Structure 1
């Protein structure tokens, strides 16, 4: 069983504080702030990192499913759009939209859609985020 770790530190109050997040592998470390999360400030935010994880997981899952079905995927490119919304109860992730473009020789649209939807339901990050509505826009290129 693989165990993955990342860490974050926040210093100060919510609006004037600042923080740093780092992947356990050392592949990424970056600053975050109230402005980078809820406005348009410099730095990253947790939702952007969730989006990166989901896009990466989904792309691999779709490629693996297609390969397992006998296809030879050339590329699967995914953008995950994580919507952070404010309601009376505070902020929440309200929706994730996966926008995928795939280059798969000799596949029908029907087969592609079947595998694209299956990967959306079965990639580990989708499963972890199942409390959130996940939409899919998948196109063959």
Structure 2
């Protein structure tokens, strides 16, 4: 049973070299960012958590990797949105990050849904954060291509 699910969102526009992105973590992130155990298990706590920060890191890294893959294939994106949800569970071995779900939405002219899904799988293979987590955390990628 999940103890908490934390979320971060990234909005990336353009290619790796020419693009820009931003991420949000909660509604309060200004200046120093406190972290507490309660932030990991209580949605009401207004501080960040390692899970939220991992989600932000993974979403932003994945958006960059996907923009790179798409540009290398000759189909640069207009926009990529990635939402990452990192789940902390209590397992028989102790507390553990068990899953990260990536919801990937993109607007890519001249590309169909199958091509977008294929690029997303390739991005998953080259994303440094995905690679750091592989073998330890189940990573699930869902894609939606905008018209």
TM-score range, shorter chain: 0.7 to 0.9
CA shift at 1:111, angstroms? 1.3
Say if 2:30 is the partner of 1:30.
no
Which is worse superposed, 34-43 or 60-69?
34-43
Given the alignment, which residue of 84, 109, 112 partners 1:80?
Answer: 84
> Offset at 1:116?
0.6
> Given the two structures, how large is their TM-score scaled by the length of structure 2?
0.74
Would you say how many aligned residue pairs link Structure 1 and Structure 2?
115
- Cα 1:47/1:107, change in 2 over 3 Å: same
Alpha-carbon distance in structure 2 between the residues aligned to 1:132 and 1:34: 20
Q: 1:117 aligns with which of 117, 121, 136?
A: 121
Name which one, 1 or 2, has greater alpha-carbon Rg.
1
Q: Corresponding residue for 1:136?
A: 141
Normalising to structure 1: TM-score of the pair? 0.77
2:143 and 2:32 map into 1 onto residues whose CA distance is: 31
Q: Which runs of 5+ in 2 are unaligned?
A: 1-29
Tell me the C-alpha RMSD between the 2 structures: 1.3
The 8 Å contact of residues 112 and 145 in structure 2, kept in 1 or not, is answered as no
Structure 1 unaligned residues grouped into runs of 5+: 1-26
**Separation of aligned partners in 2, 1:120 and 1:102:** 15
